[in-house]
Structure 1
Amino acid sequence: MTDDPFVVHRSLLFTVAYEMLGSAADAEDVLQESWLRWAGVDQAQVRDPRSYLVRTVTRQALNRLRSLSRSREEYVGEWLPEPLLTTPDVAEDVELAESVSIAMLTVLETLGPTERAVFVLREIFELPYGEIAEATGKSAAAVRQIARRAREHVAARRPRVQVSPSEQQAVVERFLAALRTGQLQRLMEVMAPDVVLIADGGGLASAARVPIHGAELVASLLARPDREVSTVWLNGAPAGRIEADGRLAAVSLVVEGGRITHIYAMANPRKLTRLEEPAELAR
C-alpha cells in the first residue's frame, strides 16, 4: 500500500476538480496534469501535501474551466453536468451529497471560474481564505468579497426546501414507477404543477433544447411505456436510469413539498460513461 500523498488524497482531489468542472472526464484530465506537476517537485520540501495538492488541482481546474467556457457557450441545447454513479453511503454526508448534486452543479455553472473555485473551496471544503488566495492568485481580502458574492448568488438559485433522505427516496420511487407504466395521470400527481424539465442531449441524442415548464407538458413528454426504468444512486441521491430503443439516459430529481420540482435528464452519451462503477468522492 502506497503512502504517496497524491494517492492518499486522490478521492478528495477528484471531488474538488469535479465540483469545479461538472465533468468527470475533465476532472480526470486535471488530476493527470496535477500528478505530473507533483511528480516534478521536491516533495520533501512540501510541509502540507494535502493543501499543496488541493492548490495545484484548483489552479489546473481553473485553467481548464476558462478554456471550456467557449465550448460550453456553443453547446447544442442545455448543458448539464456529467452524472456519477455513487454508493448510498455518500448520502450520509449530507453536505457532500448536496455539493455534488446535479442541482447544485447546475447552479455552480452560472458562476464565473474564479467565483466557482472560491465557493467550492470555502463553502464545501472549508479552506482558509489565505489558502484559497494562493490557489486562485487573488488577495485574501478579494477572496472574502468573492466568497460573499458567490454565496449570495448560489443561495438565490439553489432549491430551498430540504427533505429527508427517506422522503426523497419515496417520491423518486413513485416518479420512476409512474415512468415505468407510462401513465400520464400518475406522472402528473407526483410532479409539482410548475415542474421544470431540463434535458441535455448535446446534439447527440434526442432531447428538448430549452427547459420545459408545467406538469401537463412534462408528463406528456415523459409518458411512454416502452422503456426500462431502474433506480440508481447518482451524485449522492436516488435517481433514475432509463433505457429505451437502445439509448440510455440518467434522470436526477429535486423533491420539494413531497413532489418533483426539477427534472434533470442527461442523455448525451458522452456524459453517461460513469454509470457502471461508483465514483470515490471525499471532502
Structure 2
Amino acid sequence: MSQPVLQSDLIRSVKARRPGRAARLGVSPFDPDETPLARTRRARRMARELADIHSDAHCELDFTTPLELLVATVLSAQTTDRMVNRVSPALFARYPDAVAYAGADRGELEEVLKPTGFFRAKANSVIGLGQTLVERFAGEVPGNLPDLVTLPGVGRKTANVVLGNAFEVPGLTVDTHFGRLVRRFGWTAEEDPVKVETEVAELVPKKEWTIFSHRVIFHGRRVCHAKKPACGACGLAAWCPSFGIGPLDPEVAGKLVKSPAASDTE
C-alpha cells in the first residue's frame, strides 16, 4: 500500500514556512552560488524524501518483455499510460514478436492503435521497429543505448525507459514532468533533455536513476503540477527553492493533490 503524500508533521511544518527565494523574487530557482556539494546534499535529501512520499513508484506501462515495453513506450507519446495499457493486450497478442510487426498489415495495425492518437505515425514507427530489429538485431531488442537510439521512433528518453525497466540498466527518464521538477528543485537551469540528464546524473547515485525517475514523475503527476503545484501539501517544501509558487495553505493545496488513479491520466 502506498504511503500518504504527506505526514501530518510535515503539513504542520509547511504552515510555518515562508516562500523560497525564487518564489519571492520571481527568478530562476537555480542558484549559481550554491556550491556543488551543497546542491548534491540537498538533492539527495530530496531524493530520500521522494522515496518515502512515493514508495509505490513504478513503471506504469504494462509489459512482460523488452519488445513489449519498447513498443508501449513509443505508443505513449502524446497519450496516457492508461490508454496504452488498454490497447496493448490486443496489440501484443496479435503481434507477439518483431517479425509480426515487420510484416503487419498497416490498416489493421492503425485500427488497433487508433485510440492512442497519431496512429498513422505510430504505425510507421512500430512497423519500422519490427523491420529494423529483424534486419539488424535478429529480432531482439538491443540492451544498450547506442543501438536503441538508432531504432525508428526511439530517442534517448525511450531508450532509458527500456534499459532501466526491461534490462535493469540504470537510466534517467527526462520527460516533461522530470524536466519541470528538477528545474523547480533548482538542480539545473538547463532545458535540453540531454543536458538535464547529464547534470542530474551527477547528483543522484547511478544505481537509483531508474526508480528515482519514476518517483519524480509520480510527484509531477500527483503534487507538483505544471500550472498550480500543491506547495502547501508537499513533503519537499523544506528544501525546494520554488516553494510558494502554488497555494501555501495545506487544506487548499491538499485538494490539488491527485490520487494514484487520477494521476495516471496525465
The structure carrying a bigger strand percent of its residues is 1
Q: Please, what TM-score do these two structures have when normalized by structure 2?
A: 0.29
Point out which structure has higher relative CO (alpha carbons under 8 A, 6+ apart): 2
Q: Please, what TM-score do these two structures have when normalized by structure 1?
A: 0.28
